């Protein structure tokens, strides 16, 4: 039996046990047992690098968003508010010990929201189940970094040009070399922060996007307990949004922001001669180059691309309605697309060609007919 199951079992036993003088000692023992198991769970196992049991939550819906943050910032409260799935919330740290999934229904799509244990210093070494939390964050399309607005952790400023910072002495790359490499890639505005003693290859990997960087929005919760000036200041931070779960403030904005960041594209299909099906969109995620007609065709069926003659597009990506577009056309959210396949036309063309060929043969060699 895993540690979580053991904790659950004891919690269940505690709930069943009546509280009175006779059971006081027994309940105390159970409490101590839980405390021990929790510590065991939150500490990385000695010698092992894996860091205990993983969180096995399968992907569901059109995208995955993870709630990451220090303990007791209100992650579980937020999950319950946004998804209706209950996740235990309490004033003590590490109330949440596993990954709790919920579903957000938004804009005809389903987004999986994941509540996770709080992260603490040393998370990357496995403290507080940090490894598992980080693994879940890496598997997500977006991270909501939840912060307690009454405790300010960091400040970020946006400046033009290239700013160069490092949290440790660098032995492989210096400022000048970094500038040179960035200029090589025609990057003139960037904030570069080295958190490890990176090599030139590491830097190039980052620039070329070979490393996975997950989009992140900073969510300042509990604005009900701070002054309006502080709320205003936090709301102006880049990539940030201010909310209060308790007062249900700004949650709709948070959802809209989340949707925006996820870059999902809804495409409605229109069968020839029929109205588009507006009930069930195809939901694609726009990659770097956006969602192309080719991406859309691949989504519908792997072999479709070869059969497509062109597509007809209605919506914000079209210059006129409908626009005839090829495979490289970039579609926008809520576009309507009708696929016109090659087959029928080609069949028609080949029929025409056959007729023409027969005609020519008959005209040139009328004796064939006679025979
Ligand atoms: N004032 C105020 N308190 C809040 C708000 N949201 C959550 N809380 C409180 O903050 C405490 C922690 O909330 P949780 O949802 O358990 O926080 P968590 O981040 O899931 O905590 P862990 O699972 O322990 O990491 C609870 O007592 C909540 O009632 C809010 O908007 N305002
Ligand atoms: K908590
Ligand atoms: Mg929690």
Closest C-alpha to ligand 1, atom 23? 96
Give the CA-trace dihedral at 67, 282, 298, 259, to 10 degrees: -30
User: What is the model's pLDDT at position 209?
Assistant: 67
245 CA closest ligand 1 atom index: 31
| Residue 225 CB less than 6 A away from ligand 1 | yes
Domains of the chain: 3-42 (no CATH), 63-154+214-260 (3.40.50.300), 162-207 (no CATH), 264-344 (3.10.20.30)
Q: Which residue has the higher pLDDT, 54 or 146?
A: 146
Closest C-alpha residue for ligand 1 atom 7: 74
Per residue in 130-161, pLDDT tens?
889 989 998 999 999 999 998 864 333 445 67
Q: What is the pLDDT of residues 333-354, one digit of tens each?
A: 999 999 999 866 666 776 788 8
Q: Please give the structure tokens belonging to residue 146.
A: 């939840």
Nearest residue (CA) to ligand 1, atom 16: 89
Over residues 209-222, the pLDDT tens digits come to 656 678 899 999 99
For the Cβ of 221 lying below 6 angstroms from any atom of ligand 1, the answer is yes
Ligand 1 close to Cβ of residue 128 (< 6 A):
no
Residue 198 confidence class, pLDDT cut points 50, 70, 90: confident
Atom of ligand 1 at shortest range from CA of 249: 31
Q: What's the CA-to-centroid distance between 89 and ligand 1, angstroms?
A: 6
Q: Which residues pair with 114 in a beta bridge?
A: 66, 101
Residue to mutate, 69, 72, 243, 254, ligand 1, most ligand atoms under 8 Å from C-beta: 72
- Cα 286 to Cα 252, 295, 368, distances in angstroms: 23, 9, 60
DSSP codes of every residue in 251-288: HHHHHHHHHHHHTEEEEEE--TTS----SS-EEEE-BT
pLDDT for position 344? 63
Q: Please tell me if the CB atom of residue 179 comes closer than 6 angstroms to any atom of ligand 1.
A: no
- Measured between alpha carbons, how far is 293 from 305 in angstroms, rounded to an integer? 9
The ligand with the least distance to the CA atom of 221 is 1
> Is 95 a pocket residue for ligand 1 (Cβ < 6 Å)?
yes
Query: pTM above the 0.90 mark?
Result: no
């Amino acid at each position: 039996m895993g540690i979580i199951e053991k904790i659950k079992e004891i919690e269940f036993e505690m709930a069943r046990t009546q509280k009175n003088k006779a059971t006081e000692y027994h309940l105390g023992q159970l409490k101590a047992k839980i405390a021990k198991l929790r510590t065991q769970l939150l500490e990385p196992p000695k010698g092992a690098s894996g860091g205990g049991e993983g969180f096995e939550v399968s992907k569901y819906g059109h995208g995955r968003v993870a709630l990451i943050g220090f303990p007791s910032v209100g992650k579980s409260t937020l999950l319950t508010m946004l998804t209706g799935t209950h996740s235990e919330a309490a004033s003590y740290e590490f109330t949440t010990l596993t990954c709790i999934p919920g579903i957000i229904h938004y804009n005809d799509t389903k987004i999986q929201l994941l509540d996770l244990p709080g992260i603490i210093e040393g998370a990357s070494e496995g403290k507080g189940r940090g490894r598992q939390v980080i693994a879940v964050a890496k598997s997500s399309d977006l991270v909501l970094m939840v912060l307690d607005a009454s405790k300010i952790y960091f400040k970020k400023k946006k400046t033009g040009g290239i700013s160069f910072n490092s949290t440790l002495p660098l032995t492989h790359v210096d400022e000048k070399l970094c500038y040179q490499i960035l200029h090589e890639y025609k990057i003139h505005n960037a904030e570069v922060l080295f958190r490890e003693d990176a090599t030139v290859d590491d830097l190039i990997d980052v620039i070329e996007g070979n490393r996975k960087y997950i989009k992140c929005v900073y969510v300042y919760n509990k604005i009900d307990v701070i002054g309006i000036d502080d709320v205003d200041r936090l709301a102006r931070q880049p990539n940030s949004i201010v909310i209060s779960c308790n007062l249900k403030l700004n949650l709709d904005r948070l959802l809209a922001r989340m949707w925006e960041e996820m870059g999902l594209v809804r495409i409605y299909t229109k069968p020839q001669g029929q109205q588009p099906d507006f009930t069930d969109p195809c939901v694609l995620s726009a990659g770097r180059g956006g969602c192309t007609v080719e991406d859309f065709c691949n989504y519908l069926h792997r072999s479709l691309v070869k059969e497509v003659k062109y597509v007809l597009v209605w919506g914000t990506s079209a210059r006129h309605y409908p626009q005839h577009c090829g495979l490289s056309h970039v579609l926008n959210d809520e576009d309507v697309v009708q696929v016109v396949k090659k087959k029928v036309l080609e069949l028609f063309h080949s029929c025409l060609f056959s007729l023409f060929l027969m005609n020519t043969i008959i005209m040139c060699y009328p004796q064939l007919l006679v025979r």
